Structure 1
């Protein structure tokens, strides 16, 4: 009888791609189960980016340990960022876990399972060397959307961030393997391809050949079957004229840029060890707006950073109101051990951080409402993702909404719609994060 494997993937979409690659390594010899109560072995791919993510990962592991103690679960395998970051310390915290794999060890997943099935233990923490080949994956996203990782690691060394320590230096995948993967996905019916990395605009800087994100997009856009080519996680410094020209030239490269600015006050940006001043970012935002009125800009900011004063937050409010980002994620600063920011003076208490976060979110809510209301009476291609039983409406996304992080478009129609297909929808009503539209005939 085949060993039954339960899989839980936590954290970002980059983690999800790692999980999909591990699933591909296990194809053919194991049975995957949806109900964790039925699993013989549980595989938990963890996140350790901020405290909330670590807490979620630890709680998930502890629940699995309880299931192992009192249920049928025979083994627990923990992979990803948490074991990579804490190693021996984590082993002591969760003694019932049987195997630990670091962020570069996904190809060892079969060895780990075989060891656990045999009653043993297993650990693997290889050096952070990117897989140069086109890796097979078992897609866990709903068609026709798929993520493609173009690079691993990060060189930016922001003072609050542990990613370079967990994921290593920046390493780009070779373009031929990325393009082969996109072509394979497109042949299988995946028409929305989302390129991801810790910093997508850094792509190619470590490769000998003349390649960067703009050139990669130019080639990827010519692959048959790709309707939406989307890019996430772009550093402001990397938004070049060439990149914008390529995005505007190809209709299937969506005019959507995800640019984490983290703050707008130079005093805080300097403490964050960000490589850009606000003036530089300001120039980038203006350049994007001038390139096309259709561009959607999403960003993220951190509030409550050590030493952040009221005037720094006021500067953030004022700048957000001036530049009117379409989408904004707001995070309270997380004090991560081992980072320079964790040792800085002027740490801010959690209650004040949450107050600042809520205040910025309220500011952005009115901005997002204005931006969405400007879409009323316009027609968009909408990718239908499902049916909402509560409202009785289908819902989906246009090019202006990325999966998971942005709002939805709810569709009024008497016709049955097919999940995974694109339909023309006219926006009739707008809220801060979601819109309502009607099927355009």
Structure 2
């Protein structure tokens, strides 16, 4: 099929930010492909149109998005590309400012403006293809976005004002997407949302994540299902039983806790105090033996004292999270926390973040050393320098540990779920030999 936009033959999609943005880009690429436009992703190759899918969540992400727009605006000004469009969170949040300051950009679009972007290219929206995507990840894993938006009121977060209220995708649509992905060679589904555990409340008033997992695990070809971004308050405990009993559900949970101080959690409007958080982590570990918990924390929240920070460090030391990330507090306009004084100095925020990661480094090294001599299952991702890199069920791509595998018999290939024996360990990654 020829492109319906005269002279436009190629489009380069630049994706910034989170995996939810990546899914949006992949859906758009499928639509453009159907319109006869060849699509590239994060490419430096020449293209007629560049579409930048931006992030506008915290300061660092906003700066990266602005820098990327300016880079491509220079290309547009020099007529190296014919059209430049900007979409996503930054564009949704700051459209008026961007239009005024970046006249080289041909159009700014929000997070839900797929039809408008396609219209700008004279490409019709094909509803029958909305369950299909151009997969930009390695072919054996893909993200499955089960809902859009968020109903939470966390004081530090701008996502609800950017993405709107929670809208859950119907189960049958998600099953259709999962079948398409499985038919494309995907073995591992990574479920994502602003809040996985809220899934279904807007559909029938009940949390439906557990039932969704049961249905998705019945899709032929899908071997692993991984859960990202579970909110702690109101966590549906039945999910834990399914994770324990269903071999397709990875014993892995990404559950951002953000802090442990009662005062800070209350100010953050997290809906769960410190003791409730401790109880939840204890329950998760009891009901799913051997689970890997990934969490993330914010340091430098307004008014965070040394005592509160030390309480957070003790909490992390006591619970020894398998995977952990830390963010320095970002003072975001139009959030409830913006009314507070951002009184923790940047240098103190950075120092506290470094202390948390040094603490986690020791925890990770100890846990890895304990695995030497064990046999585990890994999904094989890629080959580099003569060795394969893979991940256990306890590791998500891009953010978690890897297993570097020696394959003397040449049996491994991308997407294979294989048994390996751990032969060595460093701070974060493991070394293994294929069995």
Instruction: Give the TM-score range, shorter chain.
Output: over 0.9
Aligned length: 423
**CA 1:154/1:342 → structure 2, altered by over 3 Å: closer, same or farther?**
same
Q: Does 1:267 align with 2:263?
A: yes
* Post-superposition offset of 1:134: 5.2
- Name the counterpart of 2:37: 30
Distance 1:154 1:186 in 2: 28
Contact in 1 for aligned 2:8/2:49 (Cα 8 Å)? no
Q: Does 1:83 align with 2:78?
A: no
Contact in 2 for aligned 1:37/1:73 (Cα 8 Å)? no
CA deviations 1:156-198 (Å, max 9, x no partner) are 1111110000000111111111112112222332110111100
> Over the residues paired in the alignment, what is the CA RMSD in angstroms?
1.8
SS in 1 for 2:201: coil
CA deviations 1:295-348 (Å, max 9, x no partner) are 000000000111000000100110111111000001111111111212202521
- Name the counterpart of 2:407: 413
* Post-superposition offset of 1:75: 1.1
CA deviations 1:250-303 (Å, max 9, x no partner) are 111011000000001111111111111121111111111111322000000000
Q: Does 1:403 align with 2:397?
A: yes
SS in 1 for 2:121: helix
Distance 2:114 2:383 in 1: 35
Distance 1:189 1:343 in 2: 49
- Name the counterpart of 1:122: none
- Name the counterpart of 1:427: 422
Residue correspondence of structure 1 range 34-433 to structure 2 within 5 A: 35-114=43-122, 135-208=131-204, 212-389=208-385, 392-416=386-410, 417-433=412-428
Distance 2:44 2:425 in 1: 39
CA deviations 1:194-234 (Å, max 9, x no partner) are 11100000001111276610111111112221110111000
SS in 2 for 1:146: strand
User: Could you tell me the TM-score, scaled by structure 2's length?
Assistant: 0.93
Distance 2:162 2:216 in 1: 29
- Name the counterpart of 1:436: 431
Distance 1:306 1:352 in 2: 12
Structure 1: runs of 5 or more not aligned: 116-130
**CA 1:108/1:136 → structure 2, altered by over 3 Å: closer, same or farther?**
farther
Contact in 2 for aligned 1:77/1:112 (Cα 8 Å)? no
Contact in 2 for aligned 1:134/1:180 (Cα 8 Å)? no
Contact in 2 for aligned 1:197/1:233 (Cα 8 Å)? yes
**CA 1:133/1:8 → structure 2, altered by over 3 Å: closer, same or farther?**
closer
* Post-superposition offset of 1:70: 2.2
User: Could you tell me the TM-score, scaled by structure 1's length?
Assistant: 0.92
Contact in 1 for aligned 2:131/2:180 (Cα 8 Å)? no
**CA 1:133/1:212 → structure 2, altered by over 3 Å: closer, same or farther?**
farther
Contact in 2 for aligned 1:133/1:177 (Cα 8 Å)? no
Distance 2:388 2:37 in 1: 36
